[in-house]
Structure 1
Amino acid sequence: MALTKLLELLERLDDTHLQMLDLAAIKKQTIMDNKVDVLIDIMNRESKLVKLIGQLEEQRSEATHAFLQGVGIRSNLNLNITELSRLVFDPDHKSRLQQIQQKLSDTLQRLKQANELNQKLIEQSLTFIDYSLDLLVGRPNQEFTYHHPADKGYNNARPGLFDARG
């Protein structure tokens, strides 16, 4: 019974991570299209999914502990799925557990790659924005240190587009 619950939780975890993967694909296009309002909505949806994943992980941990107690292991071992599969003797359950493990591992790897790509796209967008601002406003070539007004050259260079002394 505990194993069935554990298998169901692992499948739900995979489904939730697949939803995150779908959002990552939408996020990629949103970043490229520079749609900030849609990006905020996606991030809110991701936040809800992350919270759900945390809850599912907690339930998975409890189901794993129940399974371990069911097979006579009384300690709170933190076993991975491969180690757990060694304790499953029913060939159908063992096969299903290994299939879920492979599926979840693949989903997590794809999600990691999508998130890395999105992070690079965001960094490139920020670099472009910074570059564009530099072109518009210009970077000052002087440091912002105190210069006595009587010093020569004090008023020669303006640090930007706007003169705040107006």
Structure 2
Amino acid sequence: MALTTLIELLERLDEVHIQMLDLAATKKQAIMENKIEMLIQIINKESKQMKTIEQLEEERAQAIHAFLQGAGIRSNLKLNLSELSRLVFDLDDKQRLLHIQKKLAGTLQQLKEANALNQQLIQQSLSYIDFSIESMSYYSETEATYHHPAEKSGGVQRSGLFDTRA
């Protein structure tokens, strides 16, 4: 019974992570299209999903503990699913457990890759914004206003990265 509960929890965890993967794809589109309001909504949805994941993780830990208690193990071992599957003797249950483990691991890997891509896109956007600000502030305010040529000081100071006059 505890193993069935554990497998159901793992399946629910996989479903929530798939929803997070969908949100990551939507977030990618929002980043590329510079839709800040949409990005904020996605982040709020991700936050709610993370709370659900935390709750399911707690339930998963309790289900593992109950399974270990049912198997006669009184210790609070921190076993991963591969180690736990060695304690399952029913072949069908073991296959279901290993299948959901593989499926969840694949979903988590896809989510990790999607988040890394979104992080790169955000970093590129920030770099572009920095470059744009730097380009706009290339000339100091003193250079932007008119001064009589006789009043100009000898040296001109620039705050930009590139000297296009050279």
Indicate the TM-score class for this superposition, using the shorter chain for normalisation. 0.7 to 0.9
Partner SS, residue 21 of structure 2 = helix
Matched residue type, 1:57: E
Structure 1 moving runs of 4+ over 6 Å: none
Deviation, 1:157, is 4.2
Tell me: CA distance 1:107–1:139, structure 2 relative to 1, closer, same or farther (3 Å): farther
1:100-111 maps to which residues of 2 (within 5 A)? 100-111=100-111
Matched residue type, 1:46: E
Question: Which residue number corresponds to residue 78 of structure 2?
Answer: 78
Deviation, 1:136, is 1.0
Matched residue type, 2:23: L
Matched residue type, 1:58: E
Find the aligned partners of 1:154 and 1:107 in 2 and give their Cα distance: 64
Alignment RMSD: 1.9
Partner SS, residue 87 of structure 2 = coil
Tell me: CA distance 1:154–1:58, structure 2 relative to 1, closer, same or farther (3 Å): farther
Q: Which runs of 5+ in 2 are unaligned?
A: 141-152, 161-166
How many residues are paired up? Answer: 149
Q: Does structure 1 residue 97 correspond to structure 2 residue 94?
A: no
Give the share of equivalent positions with the same residue, in percent. 62
Find the aligned partners of 2:74 and 2:18 in 1 and give their Cα distance: 34
Question: Which residue number corresponds to residue 40 of structure 2?
Answer: 40
1:110-125 maps to which residues of 2 (within 5 A)? 110-125=110-125
Find the aligned partners of 1:137 and 1:5 in 2 and give their Cα distance: 61
Q: Please give the per-residue CA displacement for 1:80-120, whole angstroms capped at 9, x wherever unaligned.
A: 00000000001110000000000000000000000000000
TM-score, normalization by structure 2:
0.85
1:44-55 maps to which residues of 2 (within 5 A)? 44-55=44-55
Deviation, 1:133, is 0.8
Partner SS, residue 72 of structure 2 = coil
Q: Please give the per-residue CA displacement for 1:5-39, whole angstroms capped at 9, x wherever unaligned.
A: 10000000000000000000000011000000000
Find the aligned partners of 2:30 and 2:125 in 1 and give their Cα distance: 12
Tell me: CA distance 1:21–1:157, structure 2 relative to 1, closer, same or farther (3 Å): same
1:125-136 maps to which residues of 2 (within 5 A)? 125-136=125-136
Matched residue type, 1:40: I
